[in-house]
């Protein structure tokens, strides 16, 4: 859940992550230095939150200050990241020692949402989730490879779902969901269904993975 620690692990594993600046509550910072390092467009997020809570996309110094203030209401640490305007992808991985990447999902929020925020995530019909993603075979393999590497780097168990941005042929890992949504309308079941698994078969697969791990 801690994005700062996860990004450090991703970097150590050779995965590409977005440049960022870490802010701590009570410590001085200047927006000019942040913008000089990251560029005019930024993403501000609490270090340890989920479901895009407290996340803001900023395009000016005023928006950046407001976004930082919002994020600090949710955490003692805040990450300000360079905004990468690419295609948002997510990829589910099943397994422990032997890993399987499911079909890649492309996420397209309704134009009324600036990004895949809390409302876009949980409002029915607010987001188009296309599976398999409309990307080339090489891009698909690259995204799946990054999801598998992220799963392994974080030592995830049984299943995970990694969110990424595909931009100019490069895959930037955003974060890994270690307990992703598992309702029949969630993304993991969507990817499993595209791979030919029913919801019940997916549940059986996950239970089998847990039992397999328990025996060891």
Identify whether the C-beta of residue 161 lies closer than 8 Å to the C-beta of residue 133.
Answer: no
Mean model confidence pLDDT for the chain = 90
| pLDDT higher than threshold 70 for residue 121 | no
pLDDT band of 215, cuts 50, 70, 90: confident
| pLDDT higher than threshold 60 for residue 14 | yes
**pTM metric for this prediction:** 0.88
For the ranges 51-55, 64-68, 197-201, which has the lowest average pLDDT? Answer: 51-55
List, for residues 58-109, the tens digit of each pLDDT value: 999 999 999 999 999 998 999 999 999 999 999 999 999 999 999 999 998 7
**Residue 103 CB neighbour total at 10 angstroms:** 18
Helices (H), the chain: 3-12, 31-38, 61-72, 118-122, 137-153, 187-194, 199-215
Burial 38-61, CB ≥16 within 10 A → b, else e: beebbbbbbbbbeebebbbbbeee
| CA pair distance 95, 206, nearest whole angstrom | 8
What mean pLDDT do residues 8-24 have?
97
For residue 213, CA distances in Å to 5, 102, 112, 206 come to 25, 20, 44, 11
């Amino acid at each position: 859940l801690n994005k700062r620690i996860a990004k450090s692990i991703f970097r150590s594993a050779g995965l590409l992550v977005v440049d960022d600046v870490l802010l701590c509550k009570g410590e001085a910072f200047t927006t000019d230095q942040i913008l000089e390092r990251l560029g005019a467009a930024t993403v501000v997020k609490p270090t340890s939150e989920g479901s895009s809570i407290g996340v803001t996309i900023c395009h000016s110094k005023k928006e950046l200050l407001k976004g930082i203030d919002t994020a600090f209401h949710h955490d003692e640490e805040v990450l300000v990241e360079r905004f990468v305007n690419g295609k948002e992808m997510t990829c589910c991985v099943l397994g422990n020692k032997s890993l399987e990447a499911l079909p890649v999902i492309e996420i397209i929020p309704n134009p009324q949402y600036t990004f895949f925020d809390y409302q876009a995530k949980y409002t029915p019909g607010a987001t188009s989730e296309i599976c398999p993603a409309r990307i080339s075979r090489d891009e698909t393999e690259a995204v799946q490879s990054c999801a598998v590497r992220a799963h392994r780097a974080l030592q995830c168990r049984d299943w995970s779902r990694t969110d990424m941005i595909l931009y100019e042929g490069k895959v930037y890992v955003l974060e890994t969901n270690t307990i992703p949504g598992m309702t029949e309308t969630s993304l993991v079941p969507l990817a499993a269904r595209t791979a030919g698994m029913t919801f019940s078969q997916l549940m059986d697969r996950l239970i089998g993975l847990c039992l397999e791990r328990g025996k060891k």
